[in-house]
Chains A and B, each alone.
Chain A
Amino acid sequence: MAELDVLKIYDKFGNLFKFNCRIGKLYQVPDELEKEIDKTKTIYVNGTYYSYERISSIEVEPTLEMIKRILVKQFCLTLKNNGYEFKGKYLVYSKSKEIDHPHRDIFSVFDGFEFRIMIVQSEPVLCINPHLIFRVNCSIQDLIERGVDIAKLSDFSVSYKGENSYGVDGYLIETLIERDSRTSFLCRIKDYREFTEELVPADRVRPEPRPELIQYLLRCLNIEFDVIKMQREYSFLESKTASKDRFLKTLKIVKELKKLFPIKFGDFEVDIQTEPIIVKV
């Protein structure tokens, strides 16, 4: 049944799309090979690694959970190999889908999507939802150099590169001038995970990419630009047919993703249906 037919016959749908899979075999990875194996070909389930490559003679019939996990892994790898970027685990965007606006030196907005792979009625399905993705392009140091008062650079979330770690999330308690310096600044940050305080050079700290915070920073820079309005426009919130618009956008994203399929790995071959799941009430 073609997509158009489905839309003509039914009127209720979900943003779930069925995978058509040829399920292959998985092979248990022996303990002694765990460190050497190519992790892009494996999944880790209940304390054991399984590979889609015939790495041992212990052949396993994959369970639904295993199928789901190997699909997630291979789908993510396919996205990455095709130039998609990730924000967290499930938010995806392509740099080519950046939305144009006059302050891209401060922040970027991408027309991306959120995904999940789920099991519905014993079948793996892909859930796709359009999602606007924000990224901050300047550090706290950049903001100071552009004239933001350091007293205003406090009381919000940041991400930073710590001494030994990367991409730590924390809370900016205050921004200080480094002793004996007029041009170097430090951020006193409380790490969200450990809840310990540390001083981090301001050029290694970036504000959290939240629209409210970006709006605040623009105001500190005396820039008149309505970030929230932009967010609302591209999130269909200004539309009188918001759900219809979102649904059509979802179909468009899936059509584009279809180009990445079939995904082949080991004995597996996975394709995606572009027709959405039907809902009967």
Chain B
Amino acid sequence: MFISLVGSRIEEEPNLLFDKADTSAVHPQVYWGLRRFGPYDKSASKLRLVIIGPRDKAKQIKGLINSLNNGTSIMPGGMQRFFRCTLEIVDEMIVNSMETQEYERAGSMFTRRWDPRDVDVVIAYIPKTSRYFSNTPYYRLKAILASEGFVSQMITHQTFERLKWAYLNLASAIFSKAGYAPWVLESEMPRTDMILGISISNFVSYKHRAGERPRYIGYANIFDSYGKWMFFEGTAKPYTKDQSIEQLKELIGKAIEKFKAEKGFIPRNIVIHYYKRFGKKEIKATINILNELLGEDNYSIAFVSIDDSHPIKLYDLSTDDGSFPRGYYVYLGENDILLSTTGFTKIASMRMGTPRLLRIRLKQHPNEFLTIDDVALQVLSLTKLDWATVAPFVREPVTLRYAREIAYLTAAISEEEWGRITRPEVNAILSKRPWFI
């Protein structure tokens, strides 16, 4: 007796919107959308940059910034055409060596010299190091800058080796880190007001084998119904056993308050994305806090766990490489699917390896307001919203991708630095900019 799995597919790639005021500025691909319409948020005019790096590299970065302003073969018309703004270098700090301590010295000196409100993004040239190591110029400089409210974009020799496309990725990262949205989804995600991508009490040092410090901290990235990243929220309390529930309460409470202040309405249909299965305690605590904040019958919540740590693979031998196509999914249970986000697709020719499928499980309370098929579409849509790249999509939804980026960073940030990042005056700057991407 054979058993078979039944699946479904998302017929069309979700479209992206490239103008706040013009609903026809739509394209399924980031590159062509930016080239044709410019960014979603057209309010930026000049972005102020500071360069940190060795003398010869600082010169190289200046050349790169010039090219971004003037245009390249891939980016004709430069920043003005693609992002409706220009880049201006307002200062540079020279490091005398590529050692971590030298970057720490330069970073500290820079933060004493400048006010974060006067600099949009710090561009730093650093040596290429593995994410595996935490005591590196990348992590240390990023931590020092962030703890004083500065947003940074790191550049390595690899950036210059693959400059053709790196220009546009860099431009998008700088633009979004300066606080502007480059693109959002064209269509609102149905019956969804707010999506939270959370990571709680994540013992990053153990889990990711990075850093010597325990990192039981919580953070959430909040997205609106168009998949637009809105803000970041974190807790800074040191870990004690069973504190994760308290952190979850604090995060959700703060997120709802901030959402309400920014959007002018209370979110009623809330979706939470988490990289692993929700525990009973976490679900109960979330329901309790929502009951407290919104009233028992005034909201619906969907707990969506998105897990890629399983070894299940799906194959389609009718495609060139045998990959299971992007947007296809199979049902493992009533509210349990496996979704392919990186398999064969017409919008991208390059594929590396076998798709790592996302196992998506859904639980809702008190009412069911989304189907698992709605969730599949939401997750697929959110793979197109990573502002750090103009690639047509990434493997994970941006909700998890951003949480992962922060997880890596927190492994390298000291408790003192993390405490400073969550200070009100620093948080006011950083919480509205995706500084961690």
A-to-B contact residues, CB < 8 Å? 1, 6-7, 11-16, 18, 90, 114-116, 120-121, 123, 125, 127-129, 131, 155-157, 169, 171, 173, 190, 192-193, 195, 208, 210, 212-213, 216, 235-237, 240-247, 250, 273, 275, 277-281
CA distance A190 to B210 in the complex (A): 12
In the complex, which of the residues B3, B4, B322 contacts A241, with contact meaning CB atoms closer than 8 Å? B322
Which residues of chain B are within 8 angstroms of A173 by Cβ–Cβ distance? 212
Chain A residues with Cβ below 8 Å from B7 are 12, 279-281
- A11 lies within 8 A of B313 (CB): no
Interface residues on B, range: 35 or more
Proximity string of chain B (301-320) to chain A, C-beta cutoff 8 Å, 1 when within and 0 when not: 00000000011111111111
Alpha-carbon gap, A120 to B8, bound state (A): 17
Question: Closest chain A residue to B325 by CB distance?
Answer: A281
Closest to A16 in B: B312
Question: Residues of B contacting A193 with CB < 8 Å?
Answer: 206
Given A156-B133, A237-B353, A242-B352, A129 contacting B3 (CB threshold 8 A): no
A278 with B4: in contact, given A244-B315, A244-B317 (CB under 8 Å)?
Answer: yes
Given contacts A195-B214, A242-B353, contact A280 B317 (CB under 8 A): no
A98 to chain B, nearest CB (A): 22
Task: For the complex formed, measure the closest distance between the CB of A150 and the CB atoms of chain B, giving whole angstroms.
Answer: 16
Whether, in the assembled complex, B205 has its beta carbon less than 8 Å from a beta carbon of chain A, the answer is yes
Name A131's closest neighbour in chain B (CB-CB): B311
Secondary structure dominating the interface of B:
loop
Interface residue ranges of B122-147 to A (CB < 8 Å)? 130, 132-135
Q: In whole angstroms, how far apart are the Cα atoms of A210 and B311 in the complex?
A: 19
The residues in B between 87 and 133 inclusive whose CB is less than 8 angstroms from any CB of A are 130, 132-133
A57 to B332, CA, bound (A): 37
- As a 0/1 sequence over residues 356 to 386 of chain B, the CB contacts with chain A under 8 angstroms (1 = contact) are 0000000000000000000000000000000
Given contacts A173-B212, A279-B330, A280-B5, contact A216 B313 (CB under 8 A): no
Any A CB within 8 A of the CB of B33: no
CB contact between A14 and one of B314, B320, B352 (< 8 Å): that residue: B314
Q: A242-B322, A243-B315, A281-B7 are in contact. List 18 more A-B contacts (CB 8 A).
A: A12-B317, A13-B317, A14-B330, A18-B3, A116-B311, A121-B3, A125-B3, A155-B134, A156-B133, A169-B206, A193-B206, A210-B209, A242-B354, A243-B313, A243-B322, A244-B315, A280-B5, A281-B330
The distance from the CB of B164 to the nearest CB of chain A, in whole angstroms, is: 22
CB distance from A176 to the nearest CB of B (A): 15
Given contacts A210-B209, A275-B2, contact A243 B318 (CB under 8 A): no
B212 touches A190 (CB 8 A): yes
Q: Tell yes or no: B323 within 8 A of A by CB.
A: yes
Asked whether any CB of chain A lies closer than 8 Å to the CB of B355, the reply is yes
Q: Pick 20 A–B contacts, CB within 8 A, sort by A.
A: A1-B2, A14-B313, A115-B311, A116-B311, A120-B5, A129-B313, A131-B311, A156-B132, A173-B212, A192-B206, A195-B214, A216-B130, A242-B322, A243-B355, A273-B2, A278-B2, A279-B5, A279-B314, A279-B324, A281-B8
Complex interface: chain B residues within 8 A of A240 (CB): 320-321
Cβ contact within 8 Å between B328 and A7? no
In the complex, the answer to whether A243 meets B4 with C-beta atoms within 8 Å is: no
A245 to B315, alpha carbons, bound, how many Å? 10
Contact between chains at A246 and B313 (CB < 8 Å): yes
A278 to B7, CA, bound (A): 11
Alpha-carbon distance A131/B353, docked complex (angstroms):
13
In the complex where A195-B214, A280-B5 touch, is A246 in contact with B314 (Cβ < 8 A)? no
State the CA gap A190–B5 with chains docked (Å). Answer: 46
Q: Is the CB of A12 within 8 A of B314?
A: yes
